[in-house]
Structure 1
């Protein structure tokens, strides 16, 4: 009889012990999860805690929000984000360099105001504050800052970006966000605070009269949007974003936009005339010296773009089905087709609103096609540089950027006549992104 009672008692005691162990494990797990949430993104991320001097050096904080307040804000942001993680949200990063048509491509996503939160060049503020007196930046520091700011912005947290905006936002309100008017999401009614007389906003909304940007309202709008897209020309190495690609909260995809380096130089000479004055004069036969550092810089830019593309196209595990290479020339020639391909890649529905915008903005007249305008006659843009870039400069670019030209399928020219002959295409038919 004792044996009959002993066995059930032993089983009961065992179950009680297991239950207690499970509770202990659960509490430890909860603490570890909370600890991870409270950490700043992608350790070490000291940028959010250390304000920057005007010269970009890192200094101890003088006036800081309490750590409790900051952590509480991050917990609230995480909680809101967690509720919608299962909704199929898409995060897209558009990577490019200046004068490659990235503003136009960004607009393809900016048109979907109802379900898209789009940011135009938020890293402009980071680059400006990290720029050294010599005119350059510490590449390692800049890469980490860019990565951490992008991660927080994709999570709708503007707190780290605020540390780079000058003058510093007061109560999360700023009149100085770079190109605010280029983001429909930052100018919609829910983010439009009352207009304040006497307060000048550098990049005021064009669609409605709004006051300075309230970043708390912007964060709320971001959290309610199904998809998030950021455009930047300031990330030079795709490898530096690996931790973002591996962040399970983001499910991030990259669209990498490239353009013929000869066309890029021709466009920059027109858009940034003062910076390229010597290039133009030298090409026209004026006796001025071209700084060898400028040629090395040109080569370095081309090499960075090429190496990032080689990594993306090789489809390592961390980039598998996350990377798409797009040539500007293909978008200009076949805007509707390429736009549909990009939307298919992202998994975001391609709407009639976007189609209408493409039809309107790829057949613009000369009167509306300004240097910085997104309204272009796209077919003409592909060939235009061939008649503005001196042959002498085309040869310099081909020597400095030869490997990039070959990878992206751009043909070399050997004579001035070949450069200016429209019947000769300088674009090879090439298929990328074989998944």
Structure 2
């Protein structure tokens, strides 16, 4: 019996010694890992929780072949203020090459005849080429087809400052796009001009899926940052009804009648768009490793209220110094109310713009938008209204004040 207890006692002592040695080895191992592993400082992006330090190689280190060029893509939907936000980069100065809606011709030619996955792949290839200053992938979609890389026009050419300046803007007749004497667009000259610029930015409302951009984000030749711009779906619809009266005639009729058929195809389409925007944002907000420090979610309402502050944050995110030219442009274009404002203009009183839609959208329409876009509105911090009185009460904010601020 004594021998039995002795054996048990010896076993317990041995286990204690082994556990202590294991703890010592573990502490030594942890100390060695801390010495040899870089610990990046946690960074906080507006509206998102701070990132945890990574032991793995930082995705930013994979872009050593970009030559110092920064690439920015503004991802949005129609009437979200993307033209206005795009001007933050278009007005940056001489070292920025900016393109406005480069996917216009792709969608015009293929959207109704090509399935979504194939179209998304084409979007990716065209954007990749343009970020590398190669206009060749885009040429095959321009109609009529460019002759010797020269096209008489390019969609909204005037909206890209680089394409209306020398050497791209060659002498010629007055160009309806550039609104000055400018010959047909030579895409070879445009490519050469692009290559001389330090940074490149684009904005598009024709791309829905954020995840198709992964090959571009991981391309070592690019240093791509994605800004997803969102806006209250009720405000978007109000703006579209005013800007595109023919396309949104059904909504205008329903608004006058005070009744929206909830099972109509137009309502289903609105739900699909809200869902796609939300799904893309959820990809970005989930912070997959390939998107860390490369995705920014931006609310248009916050830009209209604090344009200078948000511009500074956008430039900081992009890794580009905030230029004096861009700063001056923002000051000029956010404190003015033109007598007859062009719906495509970037000049406006930004504070007035934020809630303007609340006085033009009928409550019944707003109610249906809330019904089909509720999850999206909740994700982005847009409050619902229960009656018309609340909708038009400017003292009642429809924004979560703590969201993205």
TM over 0.5: yes
2:222 corresponds, among 232, 250, 274, to 250
- Aligned residue in 1 for 2:165: 188
Q: Describe how 1:173-252 pairs up with structure 2 within 5 A.
A: 173-195=150-172, 203-206=176-179, 208-252=180-224
1:384 maps to 2:356: yes
CA gap 1:167/1:418 in 2 versus in 1, 3 angstroms: same
Q: Describe how 1:200-349 pairs up with structure 2 within 5 A.
A: 203-206=176-179, 208-285=180-257, 292-349=264-321
What SS does the aligned partner of 1:275 have?
Answer: coil
- Aligned residue in 1 for 2:78: 98
How large is the Cα RMSD of the aligned pairs? 1.8
Q: Distance in 2 between matches of 1:151 and 1:233?
A: 16
Q: CA deviation at 1:285?
A: 1.5
Q: Quick check: 1:156–1:223 contact (8 Å CA) kept in 2?
A: yes
Q: Which one is further off, 258-267 or 348-357?
A: 348-357
Q: CA deviation at 1:287?
A: 7.8
CA gap 1:405/1:374 in 2 versus in 1, 3 angstroms: same
Q: Quick check: 2:259–2:364 contact (8 Å CA) kept in 1?
A: no
Q: Distance in 1 between matches of 2:210 and 2:96?
A: 24
Q: CA deviation at 1:275?
A: 1.3
CA gap 1:289/1:398 in 2 versus in 1, 3 angstroms: closer
- Aligned residue in 2 for 1:32: none
Query: Highest relative contact order (Cα 8 Å, sep 6+), 1 or 2?
Result: 2
CA gap 1:334/1:287 in 2 versus in 1, 3 angstroms: closer
Q: Describe how 1:132-143 pairs up with structure 2 within 5 A.
A: 132=112, 137-143=114-120
Q: CA deviation at 1:187?
A: 1.0
- Aligned residue in 2 for 1:423: 395
Structure 1: segments with no counterpart, 5+ residues: 1-83
Q: Distance in 2 between matches of 1:113 and 1:185?
A: 10
- Aligned residue in 2 for 1:126: 106
Q: Distance in 2 between matches of 1:125 and 1:92?
A: 20
Structure 2: segments with no counterpart, 5+ residues: 1-63
Report the count of equivalent residues: 342
CA gap 1:117/1:244 in 2 versus in 1, 3 angstroms: same
Q: Distance in 1 between matches of 2:124 and 2:316?
A: 26
TM-score when normalising by structure 2: 0.81
Q: CA deviation at 1:372?
A: 1.1
